[in-house]
A and B are shown apart, each in its own frame.
Chain A
Amino acid sequence: MIISRLFSLEQWKSWLWSIVRFTLIAGLSFVILFPIFQKISTSIKDKSDLYSAVVVWVPQNFSFDNFREAIRVMDYWATLFNTFALSATTTILTTLSCALAGYGFARLKFKGSNLLFAGVILTILVPPTTILIPVYLNLKSFDLMGLMSLLAGKPVNLLNTYWPFILTALTANSLKAGLYIFIFRQFFRGIPKEVEEAAYVDGAGISRTFARIMLPNAIPSIVTVLLFSFVWQWNDSFYTTTYLTSSKVMSTQLSSLPYNLAQQVSDGASKADPFYLSMIQDTGILLAILPLIIIYLFVQRYFVESVERTGIVG
């Protein structure tokens, strides 16, 4: 009995598939993790290991000099604080405003709401580059239809402040906000009508139903949007390098890192070794993504589970 099962074709096929699957997953995981491991290995190497033929992964001389240097050049702690503050603020505001809009589009239909939702889709489809210049000029002399001129005497310049990010997040028009509205709308459409009606019968108003019944139910999609929005804001170089040229946030610091390194790291008269610069640059990248990886380690379980119930699918 056992032997016959052992030799059955089905069994062999399933074993073969397990092996193939394992190889595939292991291989692809390696492809994903390889650059991270490589950066870690590079970052703890001493300068002298750079040309040593013996050293491939594990350095001969451990040193934290690269970290020290990268932290100094990037002004890491201040940058970290700025980036965190910016990402956290926009994330919370974006999630709130997008949840409101998503619920409005899903459940509180009014005349023209479908047309407006087409507008949401349009914001997803139009590349941000197309509207970059007018938005830039608009923010440079922000006037809000003459209101600012009335209050302050002249239009205010919002560039190099966090206001562009706060304002767009508050009005659900920040980075990829259209996608978040779409996710929320799909999710709220999936909640049975009876839940809502039961709340109304019990005397809850619309806003109360939303806050007490709908939002707690929407936690999976909220987690998804929170994580996406935080991470994409953190990594965003498109808006930050345009609006925040002189402010120190992670992505602007990263994109100017090669230049700053070449300027600041040189041993006296001679030009710095490009390989050494590259080493510090890799350390800098590692430092920039490290907080994200740490956060992800904590939330990934919740995230992976929640996504399955997000209802992106509808």
Chain B
Amino acid sequence: MKALLRGKWGRRTYAQQKAAWGVIYVLPWLIGFVLFFFVPLLASLRYSLSSIQANAEGITIQFTGLANYIQALTVNTSFNRALIESITDVLVNVPLIVIFSLFLAVILNQKFPGRAIARSIFFLPVILASGVIMSLESTSLIEAVNQSSTGGSALGTFALENLMLDAGLSEWVVTYLSGAVDRIYQIVSQSGVQILIFLAGIQTISPQLYEASKMEGATGYEAFWKITFPMVSPLIFVNVIYTIVDSFANNAMTTLIRDTGFVKFDFGLSSAMAWVYFVAIALILVLVSLIFSKRVFYQD
């Protein structure tokens, strides 16, 4: 009896000890979370419902209800356009990026001479893709001149478009695909992390599965659809979410929100815009998770 009691007690302290250490380990993050995320998040919600005046003593906040939201959605000239543009951009790019990165991960996982070099080149965009560099690139005159003098992309896709239209594809698909070809640099440079995630996932699939399917006479094509695809389907979900979040972090909308806040100093309007934007993203994420949760295959 005594031993049993002690045993029970001892186990509990062990668990308690672990829980106590858990709190200590998580504590730095928790402090940061409250200070630099949660309180600001609530404050931003409050700002979005107020009019804010900066003066000598700091700022005065006056509750104005939904005025900022109404202004953002109905009065502000560029908000709706920027919002819709950012959302369509993401909806157009996400499938391309995810399919492209899965395809490349499968290829980079195969054995061929120069694989190591190919891998390090394809991860290079993770290093280089950045807001400033990208935006400067688009203003670079040298780049523009060189592109027009080589004359490539526009002409190339034009021929390709005709070819596909002749092959009987619908016009919508053709413009989507040729648009993808024109944006190939953007797509490649945004899929570095996704390729990494897929590659890591493919490498955890046990080789026995492929051997068995080969014995049964499955082709590489079948092996992809029957083994690789279902096994990485949870990662497709992860990558879709990551791509959406990533492409929403830096675009025309965030620039507009920042400019409203830090150039025009309209903190209230800027916060309201940010919240509308956040809610829009949240809705998209919820929708995507609902679609995916039914189709993803989990091993366990």
Chain A interface residues (CB < 8 Å from chain B): 18, 21-22, 24-25, 28-29, 31-33, 35-36, 38, 42, 97-98, 100-101, 103-105, 107-111, 113, 116, 119-120, 122-138, 141, 144, 167-168, 170-173, 177, 181, 206-207, 210, 228, 231, 235-238, 242, 251, 254-255, 257-258, 274-275, 278-279, 281-282, 285, 288-289, 292-293, 296, 300-301, 303-304, 307-313
What would be 18 A-B contacts, judged by CB atoms less than 8 Å apart? A21-B107, A28-B122, A101-B25, A107-B18, A107-B22, A108-B26, A113-B22, A120-B29, A131-B44, A133-B274, A137-B59, A168-B36, A171-B31, A171-B35, A173-B37, A235-B133, A278-B141, A304-B123
Instruction: Select B140's contact among A100, A167, A278, A312, beta carbons within 8 Å.
Output: A278
Query: A124 contacts B245, CB within 8 Å?
Result: yes
Q: What 0/1 pattern do residues 138 to 168 of B give for CB contact below 8 A with A?
A: 0111110110000000000000000000000
Instruction: Write the nearest CB–CB distance from A259 to chain B, whole angstroms.
Output: 12
* B271 on the A face (CB < 8 A): yes
Query: B133 contacts A289, CB within 8 Å?
Result: yes
Complex-state Cα separation, A311 to B235, whole angstroms: 12
Query: B249 contacts A133, CB within 8 Å?
Result: no
Query: B235 contacts A307, CB within 8 Å?
Result: no
* B184 on the A face (CB < 8 A): yes
Query: B23 contacts A172, CB within 8 Å?
Result: no
Instruction: Write the nearest CB–CB distance from B37 to chain A, whole angstroms.
Output: 5
Task: Known contacts A97-B29, A103-B25, A116-B30; decide if A134 and B44 are in contact (CB<8 Å).
Answer: yes
Which residues of A sit under 8 angstroms from B174, Cβ to Cβ?
none
Query: B33 contacts A235, CB within 8 Å?
Result: no
Query: B189 contacts A304, CB within 8 Å?
Result: no
Complex-state Cα separation, A117 to B30, whole angstroms: 10
Chain B interface residues (CB < 8 Å from chain A): 17-26, 28-33, 35-41, 43-44, 47, 58-59, 104, 107, 110, 112, 114, 116, 118-133, 135-137, 139-143, 145-146, 184-185, 188-189, 196-197, 199-201, 203-204, 235, 245, 248-250, 253-254, 257-258, 261-262, 267, 270-271, 274-275, 277-278, 281-282, 285
Query: B122 contacts A29, CB within 8 Å?
Result: yes
Query: B121 contacts A33, CB within 8 Å?
Result: yes
Instruction: Give the dominant DSSP class at A's interface.
Output: helix
Residue on B nearest A135 in the bound complex, by CB: B40
Which residues of A sit under 8 angstroms from B245, Cβ to Cβ?
124-125, 127
Instruction: Select B19's contact among A29, A109, A131, A289, beta carbons within 8 Å.
Output: A109
Instruction: Write the nearest CB–CB distance from A76 to chain B, whole angstroms.
Output: 15
Query: A127 contacts B35, CB within 8 Å?
Result: no
Query: A134 contacts B18, CB within 8 Å?
Result: no
Query: A231 contacts B127, CB within 8 Å?
Result: yes
Which residues of A sit under 8 angstroms from B47, Cβ to Cβ?
133-134
Instruction: Write the nearest CB–CB distance from B142 to chain A, whole angstroms.
Output: 5
Complex-state Cα separation, A206 to B278, whole angstroms: 39
Instruction: Select B112's contact among A21, A109, A254, beta carbons within 8 Å.
Output: A21
Instruction: Write the nearest CB–CB distance from A170 to chain B, whole angstroms.
Output: 7
Complex-state Cα separation, A141 to B267, whole angstroms: 16
Instruction: Select A125's contact among B112, B137, B274, B285, beta carbons within 8 Å.
Output: B285
Complex-state Cα separation, A126 to B196, whole angstroms: 23
Query: A111 contacts B19, CB within 8 Å?
Result: yes
| A-B CB proximity, top 10 nearest | A171-B32, A108-B22, A104-B25, A235-B130, A173-B32, A134-B40, A110-B19, A134-B43, A278-B141, A101-B29
Instruction: Write the nearest CB–CB distance from A73 to chain B, whole angstroms.
Output: 14
Query: A133 contacts B282, CB within 8 Å?
Result: no
Complex-state Cα separation, A255 to B197, whole angstroms: 31
Instruction: Write the nearest CB–CB distance from A256 to chain B, whole angstroms.
Output: 10
Instruction: Write the nearest CB–CB distance from A117 to chain B, whole angstroms.
Output: 9
Which residues of A sit under 8 angstroms from B146, Cβ to Cβ?
38
Query: B37 contacts A123, CB within 8 Å?
Result: yes
Task: Known contacts A111-B19, A258-B139, A281-B136; decide if A25 and B28 are in contact (CB<8 Å).
Answer: no
Instruction: Select B132's contact among A97, A122, A137, A235, beta carbons within 8 Å.
Output: A235
Task: Known contacts A125-B245, A126-B278, A131-B41; decide if A258 and B136 are in contact (CB<8 Å).
Answer: yes
Known contacts A24-B107, A130-B274, A207-B21; 17 further A-B pairs (Cβ under 8 A): A101-B29, A108-B18, A124-B245, A127-B245, A133-B271, A134-B41, A134-B47, A171-B28, A171-B29, A238-B249, A255-B132, A282-B143, A301-B120, A312-B197, A312-B200, A313-B197, A313-B200
